[in-house]
Structure 1
Amino acid sequence: MKLSTKLILAFLLISVFSTGIIVVFTRVLTSREFERFIDDRYEYELAEDLARYYSRNQTWDGVENEFQRYGHQPGKSYEPRPLYFSIADEQGKIVVAGNDRQKGEPCTQEEFENGFPIQVDEQTVGVLLLPTAPENNPLDYEFLRRLNGSIFLSAFATIFLALLIGILLSRSISRPIQELTKATHHMSNGNLGQQVPVRSRDEIGELTQSFNQMSADLARAFNLRKQMTADIAHELRTPLALILGHAEGVKDGVLKPTPENFEIIREEAERLEHLVNDLRTLSLADAGELSVEFQPVDVNVLMSDLYTHYLTLFNQKRVTLNLELAAGILQANLDPNRFAQVLNNILDNALRHTPEGGRVELKTQLTENRIQLSVKDSGEGVSSEEAQHLFDRFYRVDESRNRNDGGSGLGLAIARSIVEMHKGRIWAESKKGSGLKILIELPRTHS
């Protein structure tokens, strides 16, 4: 059974059950209140008539003949019958006997208190005792019958309206679920990137938004995997072609077995090894299996050691390397070896893209309770849009750049993975022609 059918049946059952309860209670209460109203009206009108009689005659004598009609039964002729009511004076004695009562006998206290006072000129001249009301007029029964019919008609109209509302609501609820089901079937067949319209702001709307985000993430991950597979194949093909070409050339006698040719083979083999190691590091980081040993480290000391290590390399390329450290101890909980790998990748990238005569600035500073490190070079820089993709795997601003000059294309991707393992963040700021600035932010710890 479909979900929409279940919802419609649920709405219908609830409406029938609730409407049935309402109809039963309404009929019972209406009948009771209507009978009470008829009794009260009869008692009030009778008391008014009796008051007018007493006002006209100043006595209760002969009242039996005047009001004999109140004792007749519907459908029968007016034949002498005992009065349908009795009247007591202020002392509780019967002055007008009816219903097998005797004139002069006392009434009970309960009867006297429940009686209806008969007043003339605001003076009580008697108390009307009406044990039970007479049978209702046929018109009263007809009115009650029509009223009950209106209640039943309203109940059926309510059930029909509830059914219509149930159909509309079931469609509004089941429609996005059906769309989600259809989209998941498409995704199971390999059509990723399915998007479902968000039609509400309730839990189903949130589910739809989550599905759309998941679908987009899966499509993006799938495309990235395809691109990465193509990039890896491309990265491996160039050094492998050089190795095979030179090895076959030496074997066939086309190339001489000189140290220079063997050095080319060795360098390309090292490039392959470096690429494989980088890929392994990334895969371990993605799986959360990259081994790290956190310990309190003074970031200023780490940056000073890095500055000392790279100073000679920068001088050889005639690039100025500056270091500006914040005052005090900037302690962070990190793995010094892994984090040195991050900074090495960033500095290698800065040295590679800074022209001779340029400069690279290392800087640490404290912002609130966060430690910020920055590496800024004076190279060509990139656009702000390109800066957002610098940490993607195998991303290159210049696709035609030679791999001998551009590295493996995984250094910054590895840097981002390691920084995120340290609960930090890394980003790039740059404008075309004004250099590139890499910033790292880490949580500060206190000793």
Structure 2
Amino acid sequence: MKFNLATRLFAAVLSTAVVVAVAMGVGAHVNLNRDFLGYLNEQAVIRLDLAVPSVTTGYRQQGSWDFLRERPDLWYRLLRPAPEDLKVPITERPQASPTPAELTGASRRFTLLDADRQRIVGFDRPADNAVERAVTIDGLTVGWLVLTPFESVSSGAEKRFADAQARTGWLVGGGAVLLAAAVAFWASRRLLRPVRRVAEATHSLAAGDYTMRVPERAADDEIGRLAHDFNQLALALQRNESTRREFMADVSHELRTPLGVLHGELEALEDGVRPLDADALRSLKAEVTTLHRLVDDLYELSLADVGALSYRKAALDLREIIDDTAGAFGERLRSSGLALQLELPPGPLPAFGDARRLRQLFANLLENSCRYTDAGGALRLQARREGRQMLIDLHDSAPGVRSDQLPRLFERFFRVEPSRSRKSGGAGLGLSICQRIVQAHEGRIEARPSPMGGLWLRVELPALG
């Protein structure tokens, strides 16, 4: 039979409480009996020592033990501590207050033996381990006062005391068990209910229901954080699934468009509708280039995901790389109707990195601005050193990006422009690749609103030296 987590927690807490309560009860019972018996015997020995002078005085007054054989009722009076006036006869001694040992019945375990160790009066079964005190008169032993120790708590006030302590111990242990059972029941029901909900929601999530959420508790504890983290996980999975579907739709469109054009061009050439001239070849080559660029971007991201994107880092001049990349984009900027403002320091910007990957980084950033900036606008590319950081800022003019979309710009396949027109976009992979390259160079990249009305992309890279 399989038990759920709540049942097992309840059983574990309850069984632990029962074991502890039983162990405490047994231990208390054993220690009580042992220590209580020790206390009783210590009091009895004290009482024995107090009785020896009184018994000795009684013998001295009477001259023998015969008075006890004739009047055994004087025995317990004789055991009382001797009076200050030792000449007071035993028969005239006043009743003294009982000692603690007498209250526990110790006096009933006293035995008086004569000089030949024959019982005269008192307890009739003295034990072998009895405590003895000699009764001496003028250096001559005339008898023995013997105490038989307590072996168990059997009767009287001591028995009632021991029983009361045992009952109290078992009542406290039973109350502890009941309290533990109540706490275990509450914990198994209240504390584990949210865990059960998370477990059930996890099954639904594993089955593909990414809309599943669990109620979050107001308390900031582990269970509350578990519910919150589960909802964040479900939200991330839902977003990833949505992104995946959008990506499949985007990639299929991006692939279908050039493939459709290629197919139509080839059919037109095959049917003789279009002559095979330089224009036809340029058109075919443009579509192949588009396909090649998309496949290259996907390949770059797949390598970055598994950490296999190769980097050959060396000392370099970042200013020269930016200048060369911007110069290579001259024709692209003119065709897009954009003006580039390049602001670079007069001296070099030494850095340590992969020149080829950094050129790819700045090319992707410029291509992104060319693709999404309205014609007639402007781009401003700035680079400078501040402390141990190289700061590269790329501003472009309208259109801008909403503030809620800025954090998602570097997500793969995310595009601000939702349309799939060939005019404005690729598959939304360029900035994702830029982020991987910057991270591989131990830097960071972020997006902000630009004072020029468009997008501001800032790249921070560590400086050399």
Q: Please give the TM-score of this superposition, normalised by the length of structure 2.
A: 0.71
**Structure 1 residues 445, 195: CA separation in 2 closer, same or farther (over 3 Å shift)?**
farther
Instruction: Give the aligned CA root-mean-square deviation in angstroms.
Output: 4.2
The answer to whether residue 136 in structure 2 is matched with residue 102 in structure 1 is: yes
CA distance in 1, matches of 2:223, 2:148: 62
The answer to whether residue 41 in structure 2 is matched with residue 28 in structure 1 is: no
Q: Secondary structure at the match of 2:393?
A: strand
The answer for unaligned runs of 5 or more in structure 2 is 52-76, 110-118, 124-131
Q: Secondary structure at the match of 1:59?
A: coil
Please give the per-residue CA displacement for 1:354-398, whole angstroms capped at 9, x wherever unaligned: 556643222223344332211112343222223333333444433
Please give the per-residue CA displacement for 1:292-316, whole angstroms capped at 9, x wherever unaligned: 2122223223223334434565567
Contact persistence 2:198–2:214 (CA under 8 A): yes
Partner of 1:332: 351
Partner of 1:228: 247
Contact persistence 1:317–1:356 (CA under 8 A): yes
Q: CA deviation at 1:335?
A: 1.2
The answer for unaligned runs of 5 or more in structure 1 is 75-79, 85-97, 108-128
Contact persistence 1:360–1:378 (CA under 8 A): yes
**Structure 1 residues 315, 274: CA separation in 2 closer, same or farther (over 3 Å shift)?**
closer
**Structure 1 residues 52, 326: CA separation in 2 closer, same or farther (over 3 Å shift)?**
farther
Q: Secondary structure at the match of 1:392?
A: coil
CA distance in 1, matches of 2:315, 2:416: 36
**Structure 1 residues 64, 315: CA separation in 2 closer, same or farther (over 3 Å shift)?**
farther
Q: CA deviation at 1:194?
A: 4.0
**Structure 1 residues 279, 62: CA separation in 2 closer, same or farther (over 3 Å shift)?**
same
The answer to whether residue 319 in structure 2 is matched with residue 300 in structure 1 is: yes
Q: Please give the TM-score of this superposition, normalised by the length of structure 1.
A: 0.74
Contact persistence 1:383–1:431 (CA under 8 A): no
CA distance in 2, matches of 1:106, 1:418: 113
Q: Secondary structure at the match of 2:342?
A: strand
**Structure 1 residues 29, 168: CA separation in 2 closer, same or farther (over 3 Å shift)?**
same
CA distance in 1, matches of 2:381, 2:205: 48
CA distance in 2, matches of 1:253, 1:304: 46
Q: CA deviation at 1:289?
A: 2.0
Q: Which moved more, 1:167-176 or 1:295-304?
A: 167-176
Contact persistence 2:294–2:426 (CA under 8 A): no
Contact persistence 1:297–1:333 (CA under 8 A): yes
**Structure 1 residues 34, 284: CA separation in 2 closer, same or farther (over 3 Å shift)?**
same
CA distance in 1, matches of 2:344, 2:451: 27
Q: Secondary structure at the match of 1:283?
A: helix
Structure 1 counterpart of 2:430, from 411, 431, 435: 411
Contact persistence 2:390–2:460 (CA under 8 A): yes
Partner of 1:179: 197
The correspondence of residues 14-413 of structure 1 with structure 2, limited to 5 A, is 14-35=16-37, 54=83, 58-59=85-86, 61-63=88-90, 66=93, 73=108, 82=121, 101-105=135-139, 138-172=156-190, 174-192=192-210, 194-197=212-215, 210-252=229-271, 255=274, 259-311=278-330, 314=333, 319-325=338-344, 330-354=349-373, 358-400=377-419, 402-407=421-426, 409-413=428-432
Q: Secondary structure at the match of 1:54?
A: coil
**Structure 1 residues 393, 147: CA separation in 2 closer, same or farther (over 3 Å shift)?**
closer
Q: Secondary structure at the match of 1:101?
A: strand
**Structure 1 residues 250, 160: CA separation in 2 closer, same or farther (over 3 Å shift)?**
same
Q: Secondary structure at the match of 1:292?
A: coil
Q: CA deviation at 1:422?
A: 2.2
CA distance in 2, matches of 1:105, 1:196: 95
Report the residue type matching 1:163 in the other structure: A
**Structure 1 residues 63, 175: CA separation in 2 closer, same or farther (over 3 Å shift)?**
farther
Structure 2 counterpart of 1:10, from 12, 19, 28: 12
| Number of aligned positions between the proteins | 405
**Structure 1 residues 60, 281: CA separation in 2 closer, same or farther (over 3 Å shift)?**
farther
**Structure 1 residues 432, 224: CA separation in 2 closer, same or farther (over 3 Å shift)?**
farther
